[in-house]
Amino acid sequence: MTLIRHESLREIVAERLRADIIAGNLPSGSPLGLDALAERYGVSFTPVREALSSLEPTGFVVREPRKGYRVAPALTARQLLDVLDARQAIESRAALRAAARVTAKRLAELRANVLEQEARLAEHRAASTEAERTAALRGYFVADAAFHDLVIDSSQNPELVRLAATLSGHWHRARDTQEHGLIDGEDAMREHREIVAALSAHDPAAAEHAMSQHIERVVELVRRRDEATGTIPPSKRSSS
């Protein structure tokens, strides 16, 4: 019988908790009680407590004095633009580095990921009920998050990976929520294919540009939506 090391159990719980938050199984603001999570994942309190502590710096969870942990609340419009700005810088650099270092195996994983996203979008278009549409959209956002993680990891730069991890909770929850109204799948698919093509050609400049333009389009969508709804004034556009 192989025993799971304590550190590994903590990491397993943290990854399952992270996946549940990304998938929307634990909505923003939900309390994260130790008892409930220990029962949910079939472990003791200790790895749950340590997993929550490890996720706090990433923005997935927040700790409130005398109340314990909760899933982090949704981002404000200003916070979302700031996170996108930071992610654009980090991911563009990661794509540049990845172009020279990406492996054939990772390229295959990225192509398979794009096909997974396309399948989830097809399910979303074909859905006949709100539950089906929600499930398909959740699946798409999970695959989209995985795509970005794969590119960042392909940079083989531990510091870029670490910096991206500190924003990962904000980024993934922002892309995962339908409340942002940014179902931009068709454009995203085209842009993801362009990123994969640049990586496959081992063209650093093209990979950096493709990733930067991909995130910039999301920034513009967020700005136009928030200006239209009055969440941010039009004057903010030039200063963001």
Q: What DSSP line would sit under 47-84, residue for residue? A: HHHHHHHHHGGGTSEEEETTTEEEEPPPPPHHHHHHHH
Confidence class of residue 189 from pLDDT cuts 50, 70 and 90? very high
Work out the pLDDT band at 181, boundaries 50, 70, 90. Answer: very low
Mean pLDDT, the chain, rounded, equals 86
Question: What's the average model confidence in pLDDT over 64-85?
Answer: 87
CA dist 58 and 116 (Å) reads 26
**Is 116 found in the same domain as 16?**
no
Q: Is residue 143 situated within a structural domain?
A: yes
3-state secondary structure of 27: coil
At 31 the three-state DSSP class reads strand
Torsion of CA 99, 105, 109, 111, to 10 degrees: 60
Name the residue with tokens 């940014």.
182
Q: 99 and 153 in one domain?
A: yes
Query: How far is residue 101's CA from residue 84's CA, in Å, rounded to a whole number?
Result: 25
Tell me the C-alpha distance between 59 and 165, whole Å. 9
Residues 51 and 162 in one domain: no
The gap between the terminal CA atoms of the chain, to the nearest Å, is: 56
Average pLDDT, stretch 81-103? 95
201 domain residue, yes or no: yes
Q: What is the pLDDT of residue 186?
A: 83
Mark whether 106 and 217 lie in a shared domain: yes
- Looking at 20, 52, 71, the residue that finishes a domain is 71
The count of structural domains within the chain is 2
Render 101-117 in DSSP notation, one character per residue: H--HHHHHHHHHHHHHH
Answer yes or no: do 111 and 173 share one domain. Answer: yes
Residues 85, 203: one domain? yes
CATH number where 109 lies: 1.20.120.530
Domain limit, last residue, from 71, 99, 117? 71
Same domain for 108 and 178, yes or no, is: yes
Same domain, 81 and 33: no
Same-domain status, 142 and 216: yes
For residue 16, give the CATH number of its domain.
1.10.10.10
Confidence bin at 177 (pLDDT 50/70/90): very low
Residue range of the domain that includes 154: 77-239
> For residues 207 and 73, which has the higher predicted lDDT (pLDDT)?
207
Q: Where does a domain end: 71, 90, 117?
A: 71
Residues 204 and 226 in one domain: yes
Contact 170, 83 (CB under 8 A): yes
pLDDT tens, 23-51?
778 888 899 999 999 999 999 999 999 99
Which tens digits make up the pLDDT trace of 108-152?
Answer: 999 999 999 999 999 999 999 988 988 888 888 889 889 999 999
| pLDDT for the residue numbered 113 | 97
Domain contains 1: no
Whether 4 shows a pLDDT value over 90: the answer reads no
Q: What is the pLDDT of residue 230?
A: 67
- Whether 210 is in a domain gets the answer yes
pLDDT score, position 233: 65
